[in-house]
Structure 1
Amino acid sequence: MIKKNSLLFLAGLVWSIAGYNVLNIGYQAYKENVSIILVALSVTIFLLFKNKIFGNMVEKHTKRITEYRNDKQWFWKFFDIKSFAIMAFMMSFGIIVRVNNLAPESFIAFFYTGLGSALLFSGLKFISNYLRINFVRYAH
């Protein structure tokens, strides 16, 4: 078991690693597919996922974690069941698409770059929340 506020750091670490890996796949696909249109699509995907999906999840999980009554929690409690299911689906779908060549490299380039950037940004937001909560707690 770990301190509940450490779950925020763990979530940030997991999301940041996942984001970096997805971003790297997109970056590698960009090597042969650079264009203004794809960059604009990457930015659009980033903003969509950051603002409409991951941003809400970061706030929801931060609130849930900080409201745990017990200070010690199991390490897997950084996510709820629904979020683990979403993560498993996204990873499985992404692997199936890439392994079976179901999408062109240009799609992988813009979509994975935007998605990976949003995941990485959200992971850093979890870590920022962890630092903010712990800094405020110890500053008083």
Structure 2
Amino acid sequence: MSNNLKQKSLIPNKYLILIAGIVWMFAGTMVIETGLPYFISQGRYIFSVFLAASVFSVFYFFIFSKLVEKHTTRISKDNRKKMFIMEFFDRKSYLIMVVMILGGIIIRKFGLLPAFDIGFFYVGIGLALFSCGMKFVYKFKTSSL
């Protein structure tokens, strides 16, 4: 990437937190949209809702919320006034995101999990992603950067 293009892609740090929120909410919506047809077609709604809520709880409280805190802190403590627009994640988080996306595609394409499992798992993860996206947006609104 040329230096000139990178210079044009610098934004105030605070807005990286907003961008992260938008990206996470978009990703959550896409994951929910992918899993919802599987979720609905199974018909065992009470059990599916319980399982989706369990997946949501694990991913929201033990994984994604910690990442929200990690990235918000990293961005807030950076001494630069402006950062490259893609720095809302670090390299490790981009790698995790790619692995999760490719893993999901492979699981669905090769039928490695039954539709029932895909349905509640995707809905739970999607809701956790979307909720943590909202958490990023809240942190943007209340940030003193």
TM score, norm. by length of structure 2: 0.90
- Report the CA distance between 1:56 and its aligned residue: 0.3
- Report the CA distance between 1:34 and its aligned residue: 2.9
Equivalent position of 1:77 in the other structure = 87
Partner SS state of residue 43, structure 2: coil
Equivalent position of 1:53 in the other structure = 63
Take 1:34 and 1:42, find their aligned partners in 2: how far apart are those partners? Answer: 14
1:9 to 14, 18, 24: 18
Query: Is 1:110 matched up with 2:120?
Result: yes
1:1-140 matches, within 5 Å, as 1-35=10-44, 36-133=46-143
Take 2:68 and 2:43, find their aligned partners in 1: how far apart are those partners? Answer: 31
Take 2:40 and 2:57, find their aligned partners in 1: how far apart are those partners? Answer: 22
- Report the CA distance between 1:102 and its aligned residue: 1.1
Deviations 1:73-128 (A, max 9, x none): 00111000110010010000001001111111101110000000000000111011
2:36 partner amino acid = Y
- Report the CA distance between 1:32 and its aligned residue: 1.1
| Count of paired positions | 135
Take 2:88 and 2:58, find their aligned partners in 1: how far apart are those partners? Answer: 23
Take 2:27 and 2:85, find their aligned partners in 1: how far apart are those partners? Answer: 17
Partner SS state of residue 72, structure 2: helix
Partner SS state of residue 78, structure 2: coil
Q: Runs of 5+ in structure 1 lacking a partner?
A: none
Percent of aligned pairs with the same amino acid:
37
Q: Which runs of 4+ in 1 moved over 2 A?
A: none
Deviations 1:38-86 (A, max 9, x none): 2111000000000000010000100000111011000111000110010
TM score, norm. by length of structure 1: 0.93
